[in-house]
């Protein structure tokens, strides 16, 4: 449903930036194409923050406006005067956002998630992996968090949360009324889902968006990402579990989870099991076979569609809204880079005179605050190209040796936005269970995220 008042505010900001004399803008010496892009950027920020229209629709609007107002194939009377000045973007570079390797990476991840759910691989793995944790509530909570985090590394954290809350539902029905342990169990799932996504490049969109900009000498492989992501997840899961057991101590002595499912043994189910395992192994062994993460990602999609495991109806289950959201971010990133506007924004403040730590802390806090109030994907989409320009400026000044550390700060800080029900889909799903309130979520969310933010900043600054 469209919220017309909020939409009017966003459009008004867009028009103001678009028609203001360039001299009145805080950025000096903008050419007309850069000013148009700045207006589109402001519009995107407003639409993503206020959400008068769905967030994926904002991405479609961004791509459309860029094609019409900035591209070589744009609306004639809008772009005719700038063809000779070579200011326009090739329309193909904007449309390439829809076929970016990052998009393929997500499609491969969605294929694995849909196939695993269709053949109950996810639930059966949860059944097997929860057995060793026994019946004590604290141990069951730890098991739930570990399973949720592992699934969130390779599946949508939204789908993982839905599955884990479904597993937990019959157990919660048997928990005594008023036992704070019930709140802890419900909250453990979104906390673990939000943290688990950090472990791999496909675990959460901000990771993949960062990967889009980490190229050449700064490139990070799937295995390299996991080498720092998984230890961070393990540490933060331990912190989250400790805090949950202290904030919401259970009164019940035992907690039983009974999942009456069995692994399927049909040929197609076996193909799913083998393909799932093979894809993960291939992602972790790029140096051995030479295929990067993007090439490997398309293999499960090919196998599952060719064998009928994923039908055309199953394709509708992919998170296409996330695909469009990421594509819009890629498109605005391409435009910011190719028009030079990102560099102009980065140069609006002389970061070279600031202590390096203050630049990292400032970006992390800005990203963290935005991610708590809006989609963490939208936050990464807006800040990542600016962070690249800032990192490049610092590299030119000899203060940084690469862009990796600063981009990781933005990506990981975005994933720390977990304080409010609106901050992430797992938070919203847990809140919708009716077992927790805003205060409960904020209590654990603030504690875990601030500790995580501190760990991220310390690790990235030490690596500089």
| The pLDDT value given to residue 145 | 92
Whose structure tokens read 């036992």? 179
**Share in percent of the chain as helix, strand, coil (round to 5):** 75, 0, 25
Give the DSSP per-residue string, 394-443: HHHTTS-S-SHHHHHHHHHHHHT--SSTTT-HHHHHHHTTSS--HHHHHH
**pLDDT score of 13:** 93
Q: Residue 71's beta-bridge partner residues?
A: 89
Mean pLDDT of 27-51: 86
Task: Taking residues 148-152, report their average pLDDT.
Answer: 89
In 3D space, the residue among 195, 198, 200, 199 whose CA is nearest the CA of residue 144 turns out to be 195
Per-residue pLDDT, 235:
95
How would DSSP label each residue in 140-160?
HHHHHHHHHHHHHHHS-HHHH
Mutual angle of helices 121-130 and 157-173, in 10-degree steps: 50
Q: Indicate whether 434 pLDDT > 80.
A: no
Pick from 62, 92, 42: which is nearest to 326 by CA? 62
Instruction: Note the pLDDT tens digit of each residue in 393-409.
Output: 888 888 888 888 899 99
Alpha-carbon distances of 47 from 7, 16, 378, rounded to whole Å: 7, 15, 10
Q: Which two tokens stand for residue 312?
A: 């055309």
Q: Phi and psi (nearest 5°) for 290?
A: 90, -15
Hey, which residues does 89 pair with through a beta bridge? 71
Give the DSSP letter of residue 176.
P
Residue 316, number of CB atoms within 10 A of its CB: 9
**Interior/surface letters 370-388, b for 16+ CB within 10 angstroms, e for the rest:** bbbebbbbbbbbbbbbbbb
CA angle 20, 25, 29 (to 5 degrees): 105
Written as one string, the DSSP assignment of 46-104 is: HHHHH-SS-HHHHHHHHHHHHHHHTBTTS-HHHHGGGTTTT-SBPHHHHHGGGG-HHHH
Of 462 and 413, the structure prediction assigns the larger pLDDT to 413
CA 147 – CA 192 distance, rounded (Å): 9
Q: Considering the chain, what percentage of its residues have pLDDT values greater than 90?
A: 29
d(CA 293, CA 296): 5
Contact 423, 371 (CB under 8 A): yes
pLDDT at 365 (0 to 100): 92
Q: At how many degrees (to 10) do helices 157-173 and 180-196 cross?
A: 160
Q: Identify the helix (H) or strand (E) that includes residue 295.
A: helix 293-306
What's the half-sphere exposure (Cβ side, CA atoms, 13 Å) at 172? 21
CA pair distance 158, 193, nearest whole angstrom: 8
List CB contacts of 30: < 8 A, sequence separation 6 or more: 22, 38, 341, 344
- The percentage of residues in the chain with a pLDDT greater than 70, rounded to a whole number, is 97
Which one, of 94, 107, 128, 248, lies nearest residue 182 by Cα? 248
> CA 360 to CA 447: how far, in whole Å?
20
pLDDT digits (tens, 9 = 90+) for 255-275: 766 667 788 889 999 999 999
Q: Distance between terminal CA atoms of the chain?
A: 46
**What is the C-alpha to C-alpha distance for residues 344 and 274, in angstroms, rounded to an integer?**
49
Chain mean position to CA 140:
27
Residues 176-233 have pLDDT tens digits of 777 888 899 899 999 999 999 999 988 888 888 888 888 777 778 888 889 989 999 9
Torsion 333-60-162-310 (CA) sign? negative
Query: Nearest 5 degrees, angle CA 77-CA 82-CA 88?
Result: 105
**Of residues 378 and 263, which shows the higher confidence score?**
263
């Amino acid at each position: 449903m469209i919220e017309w008042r909020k939409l009017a505010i966003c459009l008004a900001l867009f028009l103001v930036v678009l028609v203001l004399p360039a001299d009145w803008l805080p950025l000096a010496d903008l050419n007309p194409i850069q000013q148009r892009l700045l207006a589109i950027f402001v519009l995107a920020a407003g639409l993503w923050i206020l959400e008068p229209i769905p967030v994926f629709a904002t991405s479609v609007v961004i791509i459309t406006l860029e094609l019409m107002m900035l591209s070589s194939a744009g609306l004639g009377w809008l772009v005719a005067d700038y063809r000779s000045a070579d200011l326009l973007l090739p329309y193909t570079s904007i449309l390439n956002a829809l076929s970016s390797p990052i998009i393929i990476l997500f499609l491969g991840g969605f294929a694995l998630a849909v196939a695993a759910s269709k053949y109950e691989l996810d639930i059966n793995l949860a059944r097997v992996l929860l057995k060793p944790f026994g019946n004590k509530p604290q141990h069951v909570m730890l098991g739930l968090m570990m399973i949720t985090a592992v699934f969130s590394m390779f599946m949508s954290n939204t789908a993982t949360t839905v599955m884990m809350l479904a597993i937990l539902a019959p157990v919660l029905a048997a928990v005594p009324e008023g036992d704070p342990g019930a709140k802890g169990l419900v909250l453990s799932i979104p906390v673990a889902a939000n943290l688990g996504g950090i472990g791999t490049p496909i675990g959460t969109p901000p990771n993949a968006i960062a990967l889009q900009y980490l190229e050449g000498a700064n490139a990070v492989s799937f295995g390299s990402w996991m080498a720092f992501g998984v230890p961070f997840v393990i540490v933060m899961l331990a912190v989250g579990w400790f805090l949950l057991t202290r904030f919401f101590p259970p009164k019940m002595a035992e907690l039983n989870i009974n999942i009456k499912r069995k692994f399927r043994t049909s040929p197609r189910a076996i193909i799913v099991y083998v393909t799932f395992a093979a894809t993960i192994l291939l992602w972790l062994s790029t140096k051995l076979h030479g295929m990067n993460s993007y090439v490997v990602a398309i293999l499960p999609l090919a196998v599952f569609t060719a064998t009928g495991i994923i039908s055309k109806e199953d394709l509708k289950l992919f998170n296409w809204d996330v695909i469009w959201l990421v594509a819009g971010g890629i498109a605005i990133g391409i435009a910011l880079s190719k028009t030079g506007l990102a560099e102009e924004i980065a140069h609006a403040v002389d970061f070279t005179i600031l202590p390096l730590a203050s630049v990292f802390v400032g970006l992390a806090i800005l990203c963290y605050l935005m991610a708590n109030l809006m989609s963490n994907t939208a936050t990464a989409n807006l800040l990542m190209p600016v962070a690249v320009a800032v990192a490049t400026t610092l590299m030119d000044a000899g203060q940084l040796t690469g862009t990796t550390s600063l981009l990781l700060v933005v990506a990981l800080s975005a994933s720390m936005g977990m304080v409010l029900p609106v901050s992430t889909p797992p938070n919203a799903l847990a809140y919708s269970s009716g077992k927790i309130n805003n205060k409960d979520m904020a209590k654990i969310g603030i504690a875990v995220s601030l500790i995580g933010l501190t760990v991220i900043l310390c690790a990235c600054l030490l690596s500089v």
